[in-house]
């Protein structure tokens, strides 16, 4: 089980690195005619995307509870906020 948790966190780090590379590419979609970053366009696109997926469930609560308890067992001083 410990290896499973290690793999989980290792994969999360990789996804963050890949995500940051994708973010650089995606920011081009938010440029105005002058090449400047258009915050209002970015905000609008993000809000529309969030509204479209607001009812999607990406994680099962029982899995989060299990993982939290497992981590608490490994690291007795682990704290989680709701």
Cβ contacts of residue 1 below 8 Å, gap of 6+? Answer: 70
What does the pLDDT average to over 70-79? 79
Question: Which pLDDT does position 12 carry in this prediction?
Answer: 67
| pTM > 0.85: yes or no | no
b/e per residue, 48-80, with b = 16+ CB within 10 A? eeeeeeeeeeeeeeeeeeeeeeeeeeeeeeeee
What does the pLDDT average to over 46-64? 88
What would the pLDDT profile of 10-52 be if each residue is shown by its tens digit? 766 665 554 554 555 566 778 888 988 899 988 998 899 889 9
pLDDT at 74 over 70: yes
């Amino acid at each position: 089980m410990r290896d499973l948790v290690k793999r989980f966190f290792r994969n999360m780090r990789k996804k963050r690195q890949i995500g940051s590379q994708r973010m650089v590419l995606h920011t081009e979609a938010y440029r105005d005619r002058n090449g400047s970053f258009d915050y209002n366009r970015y905000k609008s696109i993000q809000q529309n995307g969030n509204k479209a997926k607001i009812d999607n469930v990406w994680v099962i609560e029982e899995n989060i509870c299990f993982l939290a308890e497992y981590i608490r067992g490994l690291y007795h001083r682990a704290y989680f906020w709701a």
